[in-house]
Amino acid sequence: MSKPIILVTGGTGYIGSHTVVELQQAGFETVIVDNLSNSTADAVEGVKRITGVRPHFEQADCCDRNAMAAVFDKYPGITAVIHFAASKAVGESVEKPLLYYRNNLISLLNVVEEMIAHGVFHIVFSSSCTVYGQPAVLPVTEDAPVQPAASPYGNTKQVCEEILRDTAVSSALQGVLLRYFNPVGAHPSAEIGELPVGVPQNLVPFITQVAAGVRKELSVFGNDYHTPDGSCIRDYINVVDLARAHVQAVNYLSEGKNKTAMEVFNIGTGKGLSVLELVAAFQKATGIKLPYRIADRRAGDIEQVWANPGKAHALLGWRAQESIEDTLRSAWKWEKKLMC
């Protein structure tokens, strides 16, 4: 009996590659589609070294409808899609909004249209806690209202969720919308990890590059927020824990457990850490003193947000397992490998 095939768009990226590992270890066959705009094909070999199986890889752009049609034609056994392919940096989206709207919306439209055309009706969508804006109540549950987006990136996630809900009304499409909090860390093997192109847009790779001497110091954007130490608070989730949530979501759909056509889950630890607390945790986990300076606030940043992941615990059977110290040590191990 052949294995179920899962199409993973953006599968050579940070979260995508870790998810491919977890899918293969759970017995799925995987097909990666990625245009390598913010990643490299080395991730495919990293997955093979971890799992012993090389995933199928198609270098293609999800914004190219014909290319996506060709992928579905080539792999008629696809049973579900996990859609990661998107531009994802809040700050960059403020500077380049049209790039974000074009890439993030058109890629989803093409993927969903080809899914329906080829009779594939299960999708797991990579969404974000940014859709909550600055929640009035913390920790935030899935019932919290979606707020006006603080950035074009956040708005694309809101619009994509709406596209999927509207499509589910008019078709057999069913899905899980995973609202991530802040993915950090790397696979414990150090075979795959976060590999930013150019200046890192995310906090932890910037921290590890400063620790490695690649960059002079870390900029902490704002120390005058209404938080205990003045810096922004986020819920930092280990990327392997996050990847496992996608496997659970695929199983949830395939077993017909979903109560609605598009079901939302928060994927976080349930605990908030400030930027300065994360810096202190890194220093404690690695023994490395980290130089940093306080910089001006950054456009589009939310003051504080962390998850109530109770729904994911109850319905997906998923919960975060890795400590922040082990997570940061895995990020540092990955950075040291990149230095070799």
Query: Could you report the per-residue pLDDT of 110-163, keeping only the tens digit for each?
Result: 999 999 999 999 999 999 998 998 899 999 999 999 998 888 999 999 999 999
Q: Name 121's Cβ contacts closer than 8 Å, sequence gap at least 6.
A: 115, 171, 172, 173, 174
79-110 pLDDT, tens digit each: 999 999 999 888 889 999 999 999 999 999 99
Return the pLDDT at 3.
86
**Mean pLDDT lowest for which of 11-15, 29-33, 195-199?**
195-199
pLDDT tens digits, one per residue of 286-319: 999 999 999 999 877 889 999 999 999 999 999 9
Q: What is the distance between the alpha carbons of residues 213 and 21, in angstroms, rounded to a whole number?
A: 30
Identify the CATH number of the domain defined by range 5-185+236-268+309-316.
3.40.50.720
Q: Give the model's pLDDT for residue 245.
A: 98
Average pLDDT rounded to a whole number, residues 45-65 = 98
Condensed to tens digits (0 to 9), the pLDDT of residues 177-190 reads 999 999 999 999 99
- CA 319 – CA 314 distance, rounded (Å): 9
Question: Which pLDDT belongs to residue 91?
Answer: 80
Q: Which of 132, 153, 180, 252 is catalytic?
A: 153
Q: Tell me, what DSSP letter sits at residue 304?
A: B
In the numeric block, which tokens belong to residue 288? 């490395």
> Quick check: is 225 catalytic?
no
What pairs with residue 313 in β-bridges? none
For the segment 159-168, the average pLDDT, to the nearest whole number, is: 98
* Two structure tokens written together for 250: 């695929």
Per domain, the residue ranges of the chain are 5-185+236-268+309-316
Per-residue pLDDT, 1: 53
pLDDT over 60 at 6, yes or no:
yes
Residue 84 pLDDT: 98
Beta bridge partners of 123: 81, 175
H helices of 171-215, where?
203-211
The pLDDT confidence band at residue 200, using thresholds 50, 70 and 90, is: confident
Summary mean pLDDT of the chain:
96
User: What integer pLDDT is reported at residue 340 of this predicted model?
Assistant: 82
265 pLDDT more than 70: yes
Q: Say whether the peptide bond before residue 139 is cis (omega within 30 degrees of 0).
A: yes
